Structure 1
């Protein structure tokens, strides 16, 4: 026998805890909350069914069962709409939050969203606010800002004044072509070594509560410590947050992965992962290589010798068991050379050692050839690597 009781506007139908009470083709179990009208209607129907269980005409019993079924279905439909309403409300809140976040973008991020590609050039170029462009012909250039950010020294031979106002931030850009490198000292004394084929966008001086720069390509960052103003490096697919540290970041637009190698300190990486809302985050420790795959949205980490990723800023390339195809990609970018491996089987063969990047590209490749038993041939302005 089942029994019912009232509890603060609820109708609770109880029976054996391992069974369900069947009414028509609908089952009730546990506790559900009904409206006041539904409560009264269901109670009346249950009372009639209880008193007339015996000898109740079959047709009328079916009719009452159908009425109760309809009542239950109406309730379930309302509950579904209620759940959909809650879900819609959550999505609406998320939408408002996303809109609010977009509206709260810093001036720098708004500026970065609107940047466009620049025409290729054989020289390094510095673009100052106000559309002023400075061409730098040296292979290893140096750009240094004063603390106020209003004066820029280039290769210790040229000095440029930049008009800054307190009302509007001034954003500068350095574009480094293949075959060139640049060391940049920002107004906060942080230093950035930009590798070949890179672009860095940054404020002439940092005026907000956090320091933000945008990178395409590869760079080693040596960030000056300032706990009150964390340093953020933004790329197309990854963001690095740091207080003071040394790390290498590789984010070339034509590559499927973004790499971060931490030499010292601690950084937090923010990326599109598997979070329902917002960015996924992970903190890496010194000696860690974090590789983010743009397609799978996965981040993988492993311990490495950081010299393999930062030594290029000192004029040499140190590699450990690195595939030939990856070595030649680095060399080709560094020297702006067209290098091709003639046989696919050679691509995965590895090499370890030091390569002096102050030598010519031919000399660097001859060092590799000596240890790997390969030959280097130049043909129609292309360098071809093949077996001996």
Structure 2
């Protein structure tokens, strides 16, 4: 239904297809014309340019047409600028809000992201809040914190004391080199098993509010239940929130995706999704793997055998039809050795079975080689696998 109460200017009428149709209808003598000054003027102009009557000479028509076109373009430009200004204002609001929220970030994340992890060889490192570094030479070390966080037990014999300032969190860091693993018992009695090539940043003592740690690499968590103080595992791309549960998080820098596997309990994942404002959240149930891809900001979940992702904590790896390049990547990371597949055809092979991490890298790879009809050759710190 037409609304005759709406007032239009000439430019509105001439650039609106429906209103132009009304002008054409009036010109043909159809009923229902508008008694409106703008419509009368627009009709006059339209008939002068389009109609059959020679009210203007061709040159005058062209000049008038150019002026009208300029007016229409200017009007459209005005509309675009108006809409752009509104959109820009919204973007500024969102940007300011995002920066504000970013500035409210956790102390753990701020500390961790301002401290670049340098890959280390040799000893596991425990870095205290005063920057004192303690080297731990055992292949599988144990680090345990007292409830107050100022006493640290290392393996069976070592004991370290650190001063804790009650006014600010005392950040500690554990850096695990490739080829080693570490079990950390935090001050709240939560356990973290850190795989090779990992870094964990955490407060020596959890104060009031939520418990937060920052992980780069891979860690399996067994969190002590505390409903009033949820536990958060922060990574570069993904945040895992739990109350009390068992789960594994893999967030290596050179991996394309960050993943979490839930063994028992429940967790909520927070990540930068496709939403324009704020972060997306998604819950997990036991027996599922969640993989986050930062390139397209997507999170996918699927049911899995959780043992495939957590068995490293017990000293062995389990594979089910795993592509050989993935096996090589994991073994290379764990043993800190360079493994090369000399034959491109080997990249198409898969392997299923258990591999004991108590064996050396050549011994472990020899088992794989026998299954896929290959041979291995060690040259210094490099192992080459080729077809027989």
Query: TM-score, structure 1 length as denominator?
Result: 0.82
Q: Is the 8 A contact 1:23 1:69 kept in 2?
A: no
Q: Does structure 1 retain, via aligned residues, the 8 Å contact 2:108–2:201?
A: no
Q: Distance in 1 between matches of 2:156 and 2:176?
A: 18
Larger deviation, residues 232-241 vs 363-372: 363-372
Measure, in 1, the Cα distance between the counterparts of 2:170 and 2:186. Answer: 13
Aligned mates of 2:69, 2:369 — CA distance in 1? 83
Work out whether 1:255 is the aligned partner of 2:244: no
* Offset of residue 311 of structure 1: 0.4
1:311 equivalent in alignment to 2:300: no
Q: Secondary structure at the match of 2:247?
A: strand
Which residue of structure 1 lines up, in the alignment, with residue 351 of structure 2?
A: 351
Conservation of the 8 A alpha-carbon contact between 1:183 and 1:193: yes
**TM-align CA RMSD:** 3.4
Report if aligned partners of 2:146, 2:152 keep a CA contact under 8 Å in 1: yes
Structure 1 stretch displaced more, 65-74 or 257-266 = 65-74
Report which stretch shifted further, 68-77 or 165-174. 68-77
Question: Closer, same or farther in 2 for the Cα pair 1:12/1:123, shift >3 Å?
Answer: same
Aligned 8 A contact 1:25 1:69 in 2: no
Higher strand share: 1
- Which sits farther off after the overlay, 312-321 or 239-248? 239-248
SS in 2 for 1:347: helix
Give the match's secondary structure for 1:321.
Answer: strand
1:26 — aligned with what?
Answer: 15
Count residues in correspondence: 365
Partner of 1:281: 281
Secondary structure at the aligned position of 1:253 is classed as coil
Q: Is the 8 A contact 1:174 1:199 kept in 2?
A: yes
Matches within 5 A, 1:37-116: 43-46=36-39, 58=55, 79-116=79-116
When normalised by structure 2's length, the TM-score is 0.82
8 A contact 1:4–1:12 mirrored in 2:
no
Q: Please identify, of 314-323 and 233-242, the stretch whose mean Cα deviation from structure 2 is larger.
A: 233-242
Q: How far, CA to CA, are the matches of 1:3 and 1:338 in structure 2?
A: 76
Query: What is residue 16 of structure 1 aligned with on the other side?
Result: none
Alignment gaps of 5+ in structure 1: 14-20, 31-41
Which residue pairs with 1:386 in the alignment?
Answer: 386
Shift of residue 136 of structure 1? 0.3
The alpha carbon displacement at 1:291 in A equals 2.1
Q: Give the match for residue 197 of structure 1.
A: 197
Aligned partners of 2:119 and 2:197 also within 8 Å: no
Residue 212 of structure 1 and its aligned partner are, at CA, apart by: 1.4
Structure 1 residue 130 displacement after superposition: 0.5
Find the counterpart in structure 2 of residue 130 from structure 1.
130
- Quote how far apart the aligned CAs of 1:176 are: 0.5
Q: Deviations over 1:119-172 (max 9, x none)?
A: 623000100000111110000100011111111111021111110111111100
Distance 1:83 1:290 in 2: 40
CA contact (8 A) 1:143 1:183 kept: yes
Q: Distance in 2 between matches of 1:49 and 1:371?
A: 84
- Which runs of no fewer than 5 residues in structure 2 stay unpaired? 20-34, 48-52
Partners in 2 of 1:158 and 1:133 — Cα distance?
A: 14
Following superposition, the deviation at residue 93 of structure 1 comes to: 1.3
In structure 1, what is the Cα distance between the partners aligned to 2:279 and 2:243? 19
Aligned to 1:185: 185
Query: Would the aligned equivalents of 1:23 and 1:65 in 2 still touch at CA under 8 Å?
Result: no
